[in-house]
Structure 1
Amino acid sequence: MTQAAPIDVVMRSLADPTRRAVFERVVGSDEISVAELTRGSGVTQGAISQHLKSLKQAGLVIERPEGRKVYYRAQPEGLAPLVDWMSHYGVFWRERFASLRTLLKEIDP
């Protein structure tokens, strides 16, 4: 079996809306526990743990065990494959916006 490219792992991990919401909550805090993530989420603690496992495997979060609790924080470097992929298309959009700017100036000088 071939190993998925890092971009595939990141995209697959962030494709799930609940997992994205969990990731956003982790990003919005310095550190957060599974119990804190579960509170008010409408998702079971087991499901939150599974989402965190996927985010961890994608390199998007790191964990810090402390006694019986595990705290999670965002790993910004994990988004690098996604940023690299998107930057490839940045040139395309910059060219399109430049063309649009020129067209708008022609229409309404």
Structure 2
Amino acid sequence: MNKTHPKHDIYVAIADPTRRKIIRLLADADELPLHELTAQFQIGRTAVSKHLAILKETDLVINRKLGRETRYRLNAAPLQEVKDWLSFYEKFWNERATLLKKILEE
């Protein structure tokens, strides 16, 4: 990790609705070029590129050059951290719901 420009936090990366939409679009496709991603938003190419850069820094997005075009694809592996974090709270709420059900049945 570069100390002058550390990788972005995965939670910061997915906090933005535009980046979540990019993740969703890439999840639904093998790869997409920048111009196809940009067409899905009401923001410019530069803004989409900045969002992609943040997603790349968290390793959520991988890019490759194909001629003059850059194509992007999703790498969902970093989302495992989010899933693991949420699973604790899922267990917490399931236990609370079970307890509430038991209390209501009594």
Task: Indicate the residue corresponding to 1:72 in structure 2.
Answer: 72
Report % sequence identity.
37
Q: 1:3 to 1:42 in 2, by over 3 A?
A: closer
Deviation at 1:2, TM superposition (A): 9.6
How much is the aligned-residue C-alpha RMSD, in angstroms?
2.3
The match for 1:15 is 15
Shift of 1:23: 1.7
Question: Aligned partners of 1:57 and 1:102: how far apart in 2?
Answer: 46
Q: TM-score, normalised by structure 2?
A: 0.83
Higher helix share goes to which structure? 1
In structure 2, the residue matched to 1:43 is 43
**Residue identity matched to 1:18:** T
Unaligned runs of 5+ in 1: none
For normalisation by structure 1, the TM-score amounts to 0.81
Task: State the distance in 1 between where 2:68 and 2:102 align.
Answer: 61
Following superposition, the deviation at residue 3 of structure 1 comes to 8.6
Aligned residue pair count: 104
What corresponds to 1:32 in structure 2?
A: 32
Q: What CA distance in whole angstroms lies between the structure 2 residues aligned with 1:102 and 1:84?
A: 28
Q: How does 1:81-96 map to 2 (within 5 A)?
A: 81-96=81-96
SS of the residue 2:9 aligns to: helix
Q: State the AA in 2 paired with 1:52.
A: L
Asked if residue 57 in structure 1 is aligned to residue 50 in structure 2, the reply is no
1:58-103 Cα offsets, whole Å, 9 max, x none, are 1211112111111111111010111121122232112112112223
Q: Which residue in the other structure is 2:105 paired with?
A: 105
Give ranges in structure 2 of 5+ residues lacking alignment. Answer: none
